[in-house]
């Protein structure tokens, strides 16, 4: 078919789809008339709201269209990566995994510059861990960061070490979705993008880190630096089980509450001892009630230990660890003020000391206006490569997108393959979605490089 005829047909198909959707709305005709529009008049008017989702046919480079043929090879690569234990505390495994990744990226992009900055964070990361940075064309007019983490939550001695196939394309394995599947997707997308005709217009950096699952304490400065050098970040955390991306994330923090009381005989001198278990319990009950008055705040008292050696001893020590989550950045200070106010009356009592340590290590990832624009372009790329419609959603889990948003870098998150049951031995990845998601990313990059899509200003 002649290209012009194809464009007209595509256009008419879009009009028909929009018309059908419009007619499914309550009182479609009334809505249309009150806007002073009619469908015939709309036909050539691309700016009308009725064409909001209309995308002119996008040409997709053949290197991107042919990614589907690589599915089996990409699934095998993912399986081999998941079989390397790279739990956040396993320095040997992390270094092995980084070497595997570095070799793969060097092979794929021989002209790229490799750096392996240290990610030391005493008390959080094991000694000797490093991030992997792969950078190509640092002077190109557009700079895009692609990020991911290569640590998993499964430690060296975890019983969940090796993959198994649940069916022909579903891989159950440690890190299959979170996020070695995302790393395979990222690599594949760049391999395809590099073969597109305008790639020279976009410079990129891949930043892969070893400590996301424990709060990115060693990598946070690297993300803050990277945020300055780029206009946009693409984060290949897994897509939701229904294919949706991530719109926003809660901010995360940790708190350790340590209560010191005074030991004493349980009965001999009533009132002499100060029971640390009871005082801490009183504090924790108050803490548990705080979310009722603060929508979007989550508090989980994760563990509690301490107490005396015998039942006839008043305990002088108790400690709890608490997970804190907030949706709005402004809730952080308010929540900490409420927490301090709960501790104050206990500290005012003779014989008690309640110490609080910790705070927020990841601010919330709130959706930036530029991200709305980028998401629409991502959806258009998805339609052009035939991926089923998806939306984007808020999630309670944090990612390095939180750090990048806080540093002012717009980012799109959840771009990896579809997966489920993260952080459990049922974790799985639908490997047929790896080439699909890679195709979206590659086409998006191609659209930026060709000028078909202009990245919004950082703001
Ligand atoms: Zn993750």
User: Please, how many CA atoms are within 13 Å of residue 285, restricted to the half-sphere of its CB?
Assistant: 6
Of the candidates 401, 448, 446, 439, the residue with the CA atom closest to the CA atom of residue 417:
439
Question: From ligand 1's centre to the CA of 287, what distance in Å?
Answer: 28
Question: From ligand 1's centre to the CA of 175, what distance in Å?
Answer: 8
Q: Tell how far CA 429 is from the center of its chain.
A: 16
Question: From ligand 1's centre to the CA of 333, what distance in Å?
Answer: 26
**Model confidence over 381-399: pLDDT tens digits?**
999 999 999 999 999 888 9
Question: From ligand 1's centre to the CA of 250, what distance in Å?
Answer: 14
User: How far is Cα 134 from Cα 114, in angstroms, rounded to an integer?
Assistant: 5
CA torsion 54→58→63→65, rounded to 10°? 50
Question: From ligand 1's centre to the CA of 301, what distance in Å?
Answer: 23
Question: From ligand 1's centre to the CA of 177, what distance in Å?
Answer: 8
What count of other Cβ atoms lies within 10 Å of the Cβ of residue 335? 24
Q: Averaged over 352-378, what is the pLDDT?
A: 94
Q: What is the mean pLDDT of the chain?
A: 90
Q: Averaged over 42-50, what is the pLDDT?
A: 43
Q: Averaged over 78-95, what is the pLDDT?
A: 98
> In terms of pLDDT, which residue wins out, 26 or 395?
395
Question: From ligand 1's centre to the CA of 380, what distance in Å?
Answer: 25
**Model confidence over 309-326: pLDDT tens digits?**
799 999 999 999 999 999
Q: Is the pLDDT of residue 40 over 50?
A: no
User: How far is Cα 357 from Cα 340, in angstroms, rounded to an integer?
Assistant: 11
Q: Is the pLDDT of residue 228 over 70?
A: yes
Q: Are 450 and 256 in contact (CB under 8 A)?
A: no
Q: Averaged over 396-417, what is the pLDDT?
A: 94
Note the pLDDT of residue 271: 79
Question: From ligand 1's centre to the CA of 101, what distance in Å?
Answer: 17
Residues with Cβ within 8 Å of residue 241, at least 6 apart in sequence: 418, 419, 420
pLDDT confidence bin for 47, thresholds 50/70/90: very low
Question: From ligand 1's centre to the CA of 229, what distance in Å?
Answer: 23
Note the pLDDT of residue 94: 98
Question: From ligand 1's centre to the CA of 153, what distance in Å?
Answer: 9
Q: Are 334 and 342 in contact (CB under 8 A)?
A: no
Q: Is the pLDDT of residue 49 over 50?
A: no
Note the pLDDT of residue 309: 79
Question: From ligand 1's centre to the CA of 84, what distance in Å?
Answer: 16
Q: Averaged over 19-27, what is the pLDDT?
A: 57
Written as six digits, the tokens of 112 are: 């790229």
**Model confidence over 253-294: pLDDT tens digits?**
999 999 999 999 888 877 789 999 999 999 999 999 999 999
**Buried b / exposed e along 246-273 (16+ C-beta atoms within 10 A):** bbbbbbbbebebbbbbbbbeeeeeeeeb
Question: From ligand 1's centre to the CA of 186, what distance in Å?
Answer: 14
End-to-end CA distance of the chain: 44
Written as six digits, the tokens of 161 are: 């070490």
Note the pLDDT of residue 458: 87
DSSP track, 321-349: EEEEEESSTTHHHHHHHHHHHHHHHHHTS
Q: Averaged over 337-358, what is the pLDDT?
A: 97
Question: From ligand 1's centre to the CA of 62, what distance in Å?
Answer: 31
Instruction: Identify the sign of the CA torsion 159, 165, 167, 169.
Output: positive
User: How far is Cα 238 from Cα 179, in angstroms, rounded to an integer?
Assistant: 6
User: What's the chain's length in residues?
Assistant: 459
Question: From ligand 1's centre to the CA of 422, what distance in Å?
Answer: 8
Question: From ligand 1's centre to the CA of 151, what distance in Å?
Answer: 8
Question: From ligand 1's centre to the CA of 344, what distance in Å?
Answer: 37
For residue 364, the SS3 value is coil
Question: From ligand 1's centre to the CA of 412, what distance in Å?
Answer: 14
Note the pLDDT of residue 403: 95
What count of other Cβ atoms lies within 10 Å of the Cβ of residue 156? 13
Of the candidates 109, 201, 233, 145, the residue with the CA atom closest to the CA atom of residue 448:
201
Q: Is the pLDDT of residue 30 over 80?
A: no
Note the pLDDT of residue 10: 65
pLDDT confidence bin for 297, thresholds 50/70/90: very high
Question: From ligand 1's centre to the CA of 321, what distance in Å?
Answer: 22
> In terms of pLDDT, which residue wins out, 23 or 428?
428
Q: Averaged over 73-88, what is the pLDDT?
A: 98
**Buried b / exposed e along 64-89 (16+ C-beta atoms within 10 A):** bbebeebbeebbebbbebbebbbbbb
Note the pLDDT of residue 109: 98
Angle at 391 between CA 52 and CA 31, to 5 degrees: 35
Question: From ligand 1's centre to the CA of 212, what distance in Å?
Answer: 7
Written as six digits, the tokens of 192 are: 């395809």
Of the candidates 280, 279, 325, the residue with the CA atom closest to the CA atom of residue 303:
280
Q: Is 401 exposed, middle or buried (0-12, 13-18, 19+ CB in 10 A)?
A: buried
Note the pLDDT of residue 70: 97
Question: From ligand 1's centre to the CA of 447, what distance in Å?
Answer: 27
Question: From ligand 1's centre to the CA of 249, what distance in Å?
Answer: 12
Task: Quote the percentage of the chain above a pLDDT of 90.
Answer: 82
Q: Tell how far CA 437 is from the center of its chain.
A: 15
pLDDT confidence bin for 18, thresholds 50/70/90: low
For residue 404, the SS3 value is helix
Written as six digits, the tokens of 217 are: 């304490």
- Where does residue 306 fall: left (phi above 0), alpha (psi -120 to 50 degrees), or beta otherwise? left
**Model confidence over 163-200: pLDDT tens digits?**
999 999 999 999 999 999 999 999 999 999 999 999 99
Note the pLDDT of residue 24: 58
Note the pLDDT of residue 17: 61
Q: Is 38 exposed, middle or buried (0-12, 13-18, 19+ CB in 10 A)?
A: exposed
Q: Which domains are present in the chain?
A: 3-51 (no CATH), 63-250+364-450 (3.40.630.10), 251-362 (3.30.70.360)
Question: From ligand 1's centre to the CA of 362, what distance in Å?
Answer: 14
Q: Are 137 and 202 in contact (CB under 8 A)?
A: yes
Note the pLDDT of residue 41: 41
Question: From ligand 1's centre to the CA of 428, what distance in Å?
Answer: 13
Alpha-carbon distance values, 456 to 370, 371, 410, 447 (Å): 6, 9, 9, 13
Question: From ligand 1's centre to the CA of 22, what distance in Å?
Answer: 39
Question: From ligand 1's centre to the CA of 438, what distance in Å?
Answer: 17
Note the pLDDT of residue 51: 44
Q: Are 213 and 137 in contact (CB under 8 A)?
A: no
Written as six digits, the tokens of 179 are: 């996020």
Q: Averaged over 412-435, what is the pLDDT?
A: 97
User: How far is Cα 195 from Cα 62, in angstroms, rounded to an integer?
Assistant: 9
Question: From ligand 1's centre to the CA of 445, what distance in Å?
Answer: 23
Task: Quote the percentage of the chain above a pLDDT of 70.
Answer: 88
Question: From ligand 1's centre to the CA of 180, what distance in Å?
Answer: 9
Question: From ligand 1's centre to the CA of 93, what distance in Å?
Answer: 17
pLDDT confidence bin for 374, thresholds 50/70/90: very high
Note the pLDDT of residue 272: 85
**Model confidence over 445-456: pLDDT tens digits?**
999 999 999 999
Q: Averaged over 32-60, what is the pLDDT?
A: 51
Question: From ligand 1's centre to the CA of 443, what distance in Å?
Answer: 24
């Amino acid at each position: 078919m002649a290209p012009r005829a194809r464009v007209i047909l595509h256009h008419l198909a879009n009009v028909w789809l929009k018309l059908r959707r419009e007619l499914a709305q309550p009182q479609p005709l009334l809505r249309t008339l009150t806007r002073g529009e009619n469908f015939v008049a709309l036909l050539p008017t691309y700016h009308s709201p009725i064409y909001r989702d209309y995308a002119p046919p996008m040409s997709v480079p053949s290197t991107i269209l042919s990614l589907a043929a690589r599915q089996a090879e990409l699934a095998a690569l993912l399986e081999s990566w998941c079989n390397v234990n790279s739990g956040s505390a396993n320095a040997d495994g992390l270094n092995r995994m980084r070497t595997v990744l570095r070799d793969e990226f060097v092979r794929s992009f021989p002209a790229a510059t490799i750096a392996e900055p240290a990610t030391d964070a005493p008390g959080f990361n094991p000694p000797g861990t490093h991030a992997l940075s792969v950078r190509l064309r640092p002077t190109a007019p557009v700079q895009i960061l692609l990020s991911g983490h290569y640590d998993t939550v499964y430690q060296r001695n975890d019983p969940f070490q090796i993959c198994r196939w649940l069916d022909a394309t579903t891989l159950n394995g440690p890190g299959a979705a979170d996020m070695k599947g995302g790393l395979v997707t990222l690599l594949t997308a760049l391999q395809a993008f590099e073969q597109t005709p305008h790639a020279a217009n976009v410079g990129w950096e891949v930043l892969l880190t070893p400590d996301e699952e424990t709060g990115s304490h060693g990598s946070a400065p690297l993300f803050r630096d990277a945020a300055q050098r780029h206009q946009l970040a693409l984060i290949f955390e897994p897509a939701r089980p229904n294919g949706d991306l991530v719109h926003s994330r809660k901010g995360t923090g940790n708190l350790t509450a340590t209560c010191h009381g005074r030991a004493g005989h349980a009965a001999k001198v009533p009132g002499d001892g100060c029971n640390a278990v009871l005082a801490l319990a009183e504090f924790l009950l108050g803490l548990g009630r705080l979310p009722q008055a603060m929508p979007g705040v989550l508090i989980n008292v994760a563990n509690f230990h301490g107490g005396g050696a015998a039942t006839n001893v008043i305990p002088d020590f108790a400690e709890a660890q608490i997970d804190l989550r907030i949706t709005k950045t402004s809730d952080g200070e308010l929540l900490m003020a409420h927490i301090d106010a709960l501790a104050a009356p206990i500290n005012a009592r003779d014989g008690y000391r309640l110490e609080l340590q910790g705070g927020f290590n990841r601010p919330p990832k709130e959706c930036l206006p530029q991200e709305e624009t980028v998401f629409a372009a991502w959806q258009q790329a998805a339609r052009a490569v035939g991926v089923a419609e998806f939306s984007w959603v808020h999630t309670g889990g944090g990612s390095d997108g939180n750090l990048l948003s806080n540093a002012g870098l717009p980012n799109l998150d959840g771009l990896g393959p579809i997966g489920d049951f993260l952080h459990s031995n049922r974790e799985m990845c639908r490997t047929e979605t790896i080439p699909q998601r890679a195709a979206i990313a590659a086409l998006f990059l191609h659209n930026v490089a060709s000028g078909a899509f202009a990245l919004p200003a950082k703001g």
